[in-house]
Every structure is written in C-alpha cells, then in structure tokens.
Amino acid sequence: MSFSQLGLSDKVQAAVAAAGYTVPTPIQEQAIPHILAHRDVLGIAQTGTGKTAAFTLPMLTRLEKGRARARMPRTLILEPTRELAAQVEESFAKYGINHKLTVALLIGGVSFDDQDAKLTRGVDVLIATPGRLLDHFERGRLLLSGIEILVIDEADRMLDMGFIPDIERICKLTPFTRQTLFFSATMPPEIARLTGTFLSNPARVEVSKPATTATNVTQLLVASAPEPEKKREILRRLIRDAEGLKNGIIFCNRKTEVAKLHRSLVKDGISAIALHGDMDQRSRTNALESFRNGEITLLVASDVAARGLDIPEVSHIFNFDVPHHAEDYVHRIGRTGRAGRSGATFTLVAPTDKKSVTAIERLIGRTIPWAGNPTEQSFEKSSEQASRSRKVTHHSRPRSHPGARPHLVQKRSRPDQAGLLVPYNLEPKPEAKAQDDTAHLPAFLLRPVPQKAS
Ligand code: AMP
C-alpha cells in the first residue's frame, strides 16, 4: 500500500513525500480512507504508531474546500496536555506546508489576547486543551457551531486527568452533524461509554492490542531498595553503564521526586533537565526543546510527560519508580522504540512494588525479566531447578566476570551492602516467552558485588 492509494490530495501527498514517508503505517492505512469518506472513527492506537498523521493528513485534504469564518473554527482537536497540543500543531505545520490554513493553539499558560486575536481572524484548525477551550467559550469569544470535524485524542489520558466532563460538554456544544475521530490507547469502560454516546456508527480501527508494549523494546527490572538515595545510586550506575545511551527519560511518580532527582543528577555532572506539571509553560517548553535538540541527554519527568510526546529516537527509559497504574507503564515505554527503532527500558523495583509489577505483567501479557537473570526459563522450573539453571547461565558468562551477581537472580528479598535487593519471586505466566534480553545488560551488574555501599 502506498500513500497514493489512500485518496489524499496531491498537496498532502507532496508534503508526505517531503517528510520522507514512503509507506503509510497500519493506522494510517486503515483510518485515512474512512476519514476521507466522512465516517466517524474509533482508533485504538498508542503513540508511536503514526496516529497523528492518520488524522492530520485527511483533515488537511478535507480542509482544502471551504474557508473559515471569524470565531467559528472548522475543526477542533482536543489534547490532554499542552505539550501534545503543541506537537499536533507542529504536525499541521509539517504536513500543511502546501496549504494556506490558519491553525490556532489554545493552551493554558499563554496569553488569552493573542489566542483571541487569532480566533477573531478565523481558524481552520483549532487545537486545544479542554480547560482553556472552555475558558474562551465562556468569555463568549468562540463559537463551536461551525465544527465539521472533532478529534478527541488520547482519550484514556483525558480520563486519567479528569477531563471527561469537559469533553462531554464540548461534544454537546459542537453540531450533531460533525464527524468525530476518537483515539485512545486503551478502552476502559468509561471511555467505551463515551464512544457509545458521541460516535455515530464508527469505523473501528485497532492497530495493536490495547496496552501492549512495543516488541522492539528491551525491558528489564532492576532490584532496588526502596529508599530514594539507594535508588538514586542504582540509577546513576545504570546511566553510567547503559549501552548505547543516546538520550533517555527518567520517570518518577511524584513531582517532588522529579525535582530532587534532577538536582541530584545535575550535582553529579549528569546532563539532565526536569519536566513536570508544576512548572510554568515556558520552562516546560524550554526543557522539552533542549532535550529534543540533543543539548540535554536525560529528561527527568512525571507522568504528565509520559504520553504522546514525539521525541524521536529516545534510546532509554528509566523508571525510577514503578508506576502505580499499569497503563502508565505502557505509555512510558511508548517513548522508546518508536517507528520501529529499538530501545531499552530499566525499571527500578523495590519489594513493595510487587503488586504493581504483577499488574503491569498481567496487562502486557508477559513477564519482564530481571537484569542479571539471563533466562526467564529459569522461572518456569521449580525453585531448586531454577537455581541450578541460573548457576549454569552464570557460568556461561565470560570468565572475565567471575563475580557475576548471582544474588540478583535469587528469589528472596534481602538487602545487600550496596543497597541492591534480591528480587522477590514473580511467578511465571504460561504465555510469557523466554527471550534473551541481556544485550542491554549494564556491565556493572556483571561485576563483583562491592563490599560497601557506594
Ligand atoms: P505518532 O504516533 O503520531 O506520535 O507518530 C510517531 C512518529 O512516526 C512521528 O515521529 C512521525 O513523524 C512518524 N511517522 C508518522 N507516519 C509515518 C510514516 N508513514 N512513515 C514513517 N514515519 C512516520
């Protein structure tokens, strides 16, 4: 299948060629013809699948006919975060190089007046976060009765952030005759209910199972003590020894931890920048920009940054904390291994995280191997057999690593002197595939156990 077979306009096809894309991704192949045929679409796809272009390209084609009127945007795209909204705006700029369309971004943290001036001139594409959109509406500066296409992107993220009442209100303010394009990585019941209410006979397009993780991403668990200072020490070593580390995102569960960890890394001379929801818009944009352009190697982020950020070629993800919600793991992991590239992910796991890890493994349908445990098959045997099998595996390691850390693959939790903990026993899942994830194994895990905490 090529882009020329999808029914996109010549201008759009030229922009796609200029972007260097040769074949549509599966979500593009499946969704674009329906969108051009004016059908509602329910797209179940995670970021990294090319879903932004899947709605942007046909919208641009559709917008070539007709023009915008003052205060009455023709299309509306709702995004959960400012960063995602800004990225969609960039996509319109990139794919709309041959179009003379007006695109406006309504996000919090920037001046109302500039946004208002743009709305007054007439807007073809309005990209907004729900809160700011409703603020403009309530001031009487915006009419939603001219909306031809409504896109609700990252709906499950909207749910997490408590935006569903806003979304319902916005849907009701737009014409009943609109076309609705709805995207979500997962389909929790609340989201399914929303689609039942606001979509009309949608074409369902699903490119991968909800909440599966990309297969080209190596995932490893790293045993850790729960204390933040011990975790920071382990993280520093992971960073120092990570193979092929080009750039990476470190995820923390709390904003305060983001700030603390960021300070600690910088103090150690590590190139890092923080990104979390409490920062003002300008600092967030600057942080993201310096990470994107390669000035800074590591982005320390809270989950607000976890979804949808289009940062090409992130080589590593470090989960400083195991996320409380299993779906956040999938979204965090989604920042690497994008567009078919490979990536590596390390998740620091304390014994108290057992429940969360089990939930993640259930969600993704596979067991995540432990760093230092080269074969998951060992979990599939009795504990006695497993311990034999692990010994064999360690012996098969290069002799230059005689002190390989067998304690890292044992089953009982007990702190060692470096603050590392032996992982607890995670029962194998029958469907879990054995795979050799050791290619990204940090070298320090193969070195002798230090005698003192470092
Ligand atoms: P998204 O899922 O929309 O965040 O897109 C993920 C990445 O894939 C972005 O960097 C896009 O520029 C890129 N992309 C989108 N469509 C294609 C395509 N057909 N071929 C190659 N890359 C693409």
How do residues 96-154 score in pLDDT, each as one tens digit?
Answer: 999 999 999 999 888 889 899 999 999 999 999 999 999 999 999 899 999 999 999 99
Beta partners for residue 301, in sequence order: 251, 275
CA of 21 to the centre of ligand 1 (A): 8
User: Is the domain of 229 the same as that of 142?
Assistant: no
| Domain limit, last residue, from 206, 228, 262 | 206
User: Is the domain of 261 the same as that of 171?
Assistant: no
| Domain limit, last residue, from 138, 172, 206 | 206
Q: State the pTM of this model.
A: 0.59
User: Is the domain of 11 the same as that of 126?
Assistant: yes
- Domain for residue 74, yes or no? yes
Going by C-alpha positions, the residue among 252, 253, 226, 221 that lies closest to residue 425 is: 221
- Domain for residue 401, yes or no? no
CA of 96 to the centre of ligand 1 (A): 15
Among 4, 81, 310, which residue has the most ligand 1 atoms within 8 Å of its CB, making it the best to mutate? 310
User: Is the domain of 133 the same as that of 35?
Assistant: yes
User: Is the domain of 90 the same as that of 232?
Assistant: no
Going by C-alpha positions, the residue among 98, 140, 145 that lies closest to residue 120 is: 140
User: Is the domain of 202 the same as that of 257?
Assistant: no
- Domain for residue 436, yes or no? no
What b/e string do you get for 103-140 counting C-beta neighbours within 10 Å, with b at 16 or more?
Answer: bbbbbeeeeeeebbebbeebbbbbbbbbebbbbbbeee
Helices (H) and strands (E) in the chain, counts: 15, 13
Ligand 1 pocket member 24 (CB < 6 A): yes
> How many domains, in total, are found in the chain?
2
- Domain for residue 389, yes or no? no
User: Is the domain of 149 the same as that of 292?
Assistant: no
Ligand 1 pocket member 337 (CB < 6 A): no
Ligand 1 pocket member 51 (CB < 6 A): yes
- Domain for residue 282, yes or no? yes
Question: Which residue's C-alpha comes closest to atom 15 of ligand 1?
Answer: 50
- Is-contact 84 308, C-beta < 8 A? yes
Ligand 1 pocket member 52 (CB < 6 A): yes
CA of 413 to the centre of ligand 1 (A): 42
User: Is the domain of 245 the same as that of 340?
Assistant: yes
What CATH number is attached to the domain comprising 255? 3.40.50.300
Three-state SS at 404: coil
Question: Which residue's C-alpha comes closest to atom 11 of ligand 1?
Answer: 50
User: Is the domain of 101 the same as that of 158?
Assistant: yes
* Size of the chain, expressed as the number of residues it contains: 454
CA distance 288 to 253: 19
425 band by pLDDT with thresholds 50, 70 and 90: very low
User: Is the domain of 153 the same as that of 280?
Assistant: no
- Is-contact 125 104, C-beta < 8 A? yes
E strand map for 305-407: 316-319, 343-349
The per-residue pLDDT for 68 is 87
| Domain limit, last residue, from 324, 353, 375 | 375
Ligand 1 pocket member 442 (CB < 6 A): no
- Is-contact 331 186, C-beta < 8 A? no
User: Is the domain of 147 the same as that of 81?
Assistant: yes
Q: What confidence tens digit (pLDDT) does each residue in 143-180 have?
A: 999 999 999 999 988 988 889 999 999 999 999 999 99
What is the gyration radius of the CA atoms in the chain, in angstroms?
Answer: 24
**Domain ranges, residue 159:** 3-206
Question: Residue 310 CA: which ligand 1 atom is closest?
Answer: 4
306 band by pLDDT with thresholds 50, 70 and 90: low
Ligand 1 pocket member 339 (CB < 6 A): yes
442 band by pLDDT with thresholds 50, 70 and 90: very low
Ligand 1 pocket member 328 (CB < 6 A): no
- Domain for residue 212, yes or no? no
Ligand 1 pocket member 335 (CB < 6 A): no
User: Is the domain of 141 the same as that of 233?
Assistant: no
